[in-house]
Structure 1
Amino acid sequence: MKKIAITAIFLLCLSVSFAQLLQEKNNFTRQDSLRGSITPEREWWDLTYYHLDIEVKPDQKFISGKNTVQYKVLKPHNRIQIDLQPPLQIEKVIQNGKELSFTSEVNAHFINLVDQQEVNTINSLTVYYKGHPREAKRAPWDGGLSWKKDENGKHFVATSCQGLGASVWWPNKDHMYDEPDSMLISVTNPKDLTNVSNGRLRNLEENDDNTVTSHWFVSNPINNYGVNINIGDYTHFSETYNGEKGALDMDYWVLSDNLEIAKEHFKDAPKMMKAFEHWFGPYPFYEDSFKLVEVPYLGMEHQSSVTYGNQYKKGYLGNDLSGTGWGLKFDFIIIHEAGHEWFANNITYNDAADMWIHEGFTAYSENLFLDYYYGKEASADYVIGTRANIQNDRPLIGQYNVKNEGSSDMYYKGANMLHTLRQLIEDDGLWREILRGLNKEFYHKTVSSLQVENYISRMTDKDLSAFFNQYLRDVRIPTLEYKIENSELQYRYTNIVDGFDMPIQIELNGQSQWLFPNSEWQTTAVTSSKFNVDRDFYIYTKEL
């Protein structure tokens, strides 16, 4: 009963939007291409810097302001694409003191440039906008702006926009392949409230109109959906973590009433940092600090400003997604969302079709946290327990160039694929080297699934193409068919892609050994009818 309830909660939250996406996106539109592809109006310029400068009026649920977009010219062009979603409206666009004309196709706005765009020059333009942004319906999955109030009746505002895209609340180059090298976020809000955004607070200005403006500077590349604002009656506490790159500031911003419970509950944060620096390498954003920020929704992986709303409970809102008990040893949101600092914020997919890179590795980080503190058996129990949440409805990789995400199985099928891969590698030292190596090889980069796959194949000196094709691009789970007759084990794989021949560990003849199945029947002598496949391999078995 408990497992059914947990699965229902999780899949309702994580899967409904994906199922809707499947239904809605059987026929892709021009808007899908404008969102999901590197259009001619995007490819000619390289994003270098943003200065987002806005005022937020919670009483009116209104935003107004501007975004200065700085870019390097890669080749001459006279039109640039900036994205902003209705009902927000662009008021004007200025470059070098001149107001520019533009045409709009729903979310995509094509600005006509007057001045010559010379190769290798650094130019900028400023987009002025205003409006009532889309209100989040079920943040963070169906996001936008969450306009809430805390228990004391004070405004409690936050952004969440993964999937929808950052252009749901600010104008930007809304495609994941290109990130600014740095960013300044200036937010004006009522004086009795505090805004917390990404990076470090540079300064705070008190204004004459009973408002305050905070300036947060991000000194590292940042993906657009990772940018956030969080406005509330916050109080702050902090600690210093002595990590692999030295002293790391860890800051916590919580509602004033929750200060004492947060001081105790957030002890999971330095534990997370210790475990993940062990497995993945140094935290990727020392220059920008690490923050946990309380928000009125469950949470999100905003870079250096991880948002938290798990109600100060262990597990996922007090539930264990694995059904094993191990999921109640940690706060799911602290561990999972912070794990995204390495896989999502440091290593970022360059097309939504490859979102499994974010979610598969980060779901897998949950059991690596357990591995670090409780051992391999505990971590195996956990990740194997999460198989109950896998639907095998669609491939983990979606369709490219149309902003199409794969199945929500990218979480726990992705994690179980990686757990299986760890068994194939055998050497945990090499496995840790690969995980750390990924974060070094692709440090602050956007990548494709194939780049990740090829890196792992190269590091293991194995051709893993069929393995990845099976688990990422096919819905079928390999099935080992077998029978034991006349002191002989007969076995083969079914439900597999071409070339799939993954070795597995089995218990046979009273001992553990490797078996090397493929699509053809094979035989081996046995002295016992006792035959078991190691549970760490994500396959099905079928006795004939």
Structure 2
Amino acid sequence: MMPRQLAVAGALALFALPPAASAQDAPPIAERTAQSDLPLEGPRAATRIGHASLSISVTPATRSIAGRALHQVVALSDTAQLQFDLDPRFAISEIVVDDVAVPASGWRNPDGLLTIDLPRPLGAGERALVSIMYTGVPHVATNPPWDGGFTWATTPGGEPWIATSIQGEGCDMFWPCIDHSSHRSDSLDLMVTVPDGLVAAGNGRLVAERDNGNGTTTFHWQARDPSNYGITLQIGPYELAERTYRSRYGNEIPLMFWHLPGHGEEAERLLGELADQVRFFEEVVGPYPFADEKAGVAETPHLGMEHQTINAYGNAFRRDPLGYDWLLAHEFAHEWFANQLTHASINHMWLHEGIGTWMQPLYLGWARGQMYYDAAMWENRKAIVSRVPLVPPEGQLPDYNDRAAGWGTDIYYKGAWIMHTLRALVGEEVLSPALTELTYGTTDPQPGAIRPVNRTTEDFRRILQAHGAGDLDWFFDAYFHQAALPRLEARQEGTTLSLAWQTPSAMPFAMPVEVRVGDSIVTVPMAEGRGDLSLPDAGTSWLADPRNLVLKQDDAIDAWRAAERRRGD
């Protein structure tokens, strides 16, 4: 997902978004459903979904869905119950476990935690096949994709145009799941039934398209290792632009863009950008993780979202002076940093958004030159808030939408700048293999042998140090666990320039500082958070951090931001 600051106000104005017919009558979203990554406890911690099979019929006329979830559940420990997260607005008509119907008294879902009493207890390692039938009117997203749910729109031609976006609230908004970042099923069958004339673009590979002979068509998709929030419904009168990309690893990757009628030429242009971005990522990070399925994009009535192998795109094909489509690039980066590397909990969401955001200027520098990298990084720098820690303590769920705290902004821009600073500190020779291992679990990933990994910020520190970065406790504490940015104090007395880092961290901030002295650049080590430099004479000009390699407090940005706020008032 992209930060709110990047939203283009006119993106949705191009299309009709009729008011929800029953919006005023719809129940508010349940407190539990509105949250994601709640602690894994009890039966939710005792099981996982090995294979998920979802059959969902979508009826645009009533803005309703009817679904059947058929889950192969694996017991991780002994349990007499199953628990799934599911929005309680859905009416459950039937639950069957291993061909045994569970009586209505054997399940309950008053608050979004569906609890099922098993006909017989499961021992650790045992499996059960669970069928859940449900129907209802799903929650309508009020400001997609940042506020999740369904978007029911119409195209300029008047056809239904439907999309889900559920990152913040989670998978339980339209199917029964274990709504936690650490959980993903091994495989998925997704069968979506829609009125004839509409296409359901989905995750993974399309294995069948069936005319039901009753005015509806079913699209059957199969995917491996889908992330929970990456499973999506994207429906419209789509046409398909496609091409095949020959990877540097010798395999072929299908590139596919489901677009509205009349947008074929622009979709072909963006497929060209997508091919170039595959080349960049495979050179800089490693092989495209889902090459056996596709790199897919679907045009949507909301701005965008990183749905696995079928990214949502709603940027209206706008041109950018930087020479690329920022939204396409941002969401595609998430195939590596969200869908392949998935944070172990939402507290480490910067691993998705910060590294993904850094990939955009990095790509611009690779494709167009250093000036473009610097220009993009400067825009990122102006947006950093740094009022709360980037990685909150485990058990403390951050609020993405708390604009005063700014965490939902910092995970993008502060995260990107930490990566920029980290590269300056440890060097490309350390960061490059460490980033690859962080993403794949190996420094030699090969197509056909790639499985997603769950990571924490601590995993990243450990991997960097294993690759020769040295002790980085001080770096990670200052940038991830403290709110305020390090401040660089500089004082000249005669020919002596004294530098000192100030940070709330108890550990000395040992970030070396480049100093331009006259026409030369020298590096001051700052091992204990301070260092001195002798100048040729007292009148010699100097500038600390002339290449802006270090993320640090900048009073000018704060003064500018305060002035902008006053002007807005």
Give the TM-score normalised by structure 2.
0.85
Task: Map 1:133-532 to 2 at 5 A.
Answer: 133-218=138-223, 220-245=224-249, 246-315=251-320, 328-401=322-395, 403-405=397-399, 407-408=407-408, 409-426=410-427, 428-441=428-441, 443-499=451-507, 500-508=509-517, 510-517=519-526, 522-527=531-536, 528-532=540-544
Compare 114-123 and 77-86 and name the one that shifted more. 114-123
Asked whether the equivalents of residues 41 and 79 of structure 1 are also in contact (C-alpha less than 8 Å), the reply is yes
Equivalent residue number for residue 39 of structure 1: 41
**2:535 matched to 1:535?**
no
**Are the structure 2 counterparts of residues 349 and 141 from structure 1 closer, same or farther at C-alpha, using a change threshold of 3 Å?**
same
* Other-structure match for 2:55: 53
Letter matched to residue 231 of structure 1: I
Superposition deviation, residue 56 in structure 1: 0.3
CA root-mean-square deviation: 2.3
Q: 1:395 to 1:492 in 2, by over 3 A?
A: same
CA contact (8 A) 1:370 1:379 kept: yes
- Alpha-carbon shift at residue 517 of structure 1 (Å): 2.9
1:110 aligns with 2:115: yes
User: How far apart, CA to CA, are the structure 2 residues paired with 1:31 and 1:293?
Assistant: 26
Q: 1:11 to 1:152 in 2, by over 3 A?
A: closer
1:60 to 1:410, Cα distance in 2 relative to 1, 3 A = same
The total of aligned residue pairs comes to: 509
Contact in 2 for aligned 1:480/1:542 (Cα 8 Å): no
More displaced, 195-204 or 72-81?
72-81
**Worse-superposed segment, 522-531 or 64-73:** 522-531
Query: Which AA in structure 1 matches 2:150?
Result: L
Q: Name which of 124, 127, 130 aligns with 2:129.
A: 124
**Which one is further off, 259-268 or 363-372?**
259-268
Distance 1:84 1:30 in 2: 9
Deviation at 1:473, TM superposition (A): 1.6
Give the C-alpha shift of residue 402 in structure 1: 5.5
Post-superposition offset of 1:417: 0.5
Instruction: Report the CA distance between 1:260 and its aligned residue.
Output: 2.1
Kept after mapping to 2: 8 A contact 1:279/1:435: no
1:458–1:96 Cα change, 3 Å: same
Q: Unpaired runs of 5+ in structure 1?
A: 1-6, 14-28, 316-324
C-alpha distance in structure 2 between counterparts of 1:157 and 1:515, whole Å: 56
- Which deviations, in whole Å up to 9, do the C-alpha atoms of 1:181-222 show, x marking residues without a partner? 11000011101111111001100111122101110000x211
Match of 2:76 among 74, 77, 81: 74
Q: Work out the CA distance in 1 between the residues paired with 2:46 and 2:549.
A: 47
Measure the CA separation in 2 of the matches of 1:541 and 1:75: 52
Cα distance change of structure 1 residues 132 and 420 upon mapping to structure 2, 3 Å threshold:
same
The 2-side partners of 1:382 and 1:312 are apart by 20
CA 1:353–1:501 in structure 2 vs 1: closer, same or farther (change >3 Å)? same
Percent of residue pairs bearing the same amino acid type? 26
**Alpha-carbon distance between aligned partners in 1 of 2:458 and 2:248, rounded to the nearest angstrom:** 29
Name the amino acid aligned to 2:510: D
| CA gap 1:166/1:231 in 2 versus in 1, 3 angstroms | same
Cα distance in structure 1, aligned partners of 2:554 and 2:386: 16
Alpha-carbon distance in 2 for matches of 1:185, 1:402? 33
Secondary structure of the residue that 1:129 maps to in structure 2? strand
Give a deviation string over 1:244-286, Cα, whole Å, max 9, x none. Answer: 3411111111011211222224321111111111111000011
Partners of 1:480 and 1:236 lie apart in 2 by: 53
Q: Which deviates more, 58-67 or 441-450?
A: 441-450
Segments of structure 2 that go 5 or more residues without pairing to the other structure are: 10-30, 401-406, 443-450, 557-569
Contact 1:33–1:401 (CA<8 Å) still a contact in 2? Answer: no
Please say if residues 484 and 529 of structure 1, whose CA atoms lie closer than 8 Å, have aligned partners that are also in contact.
no
* Inter-partner Cα distance in structure 2 for 1:162 and 1:30: 14
Q: 1:540 to 1:36 in 2, by over 3 A?
A: same
Q: CA deviation at 1:438?
A: 1.9
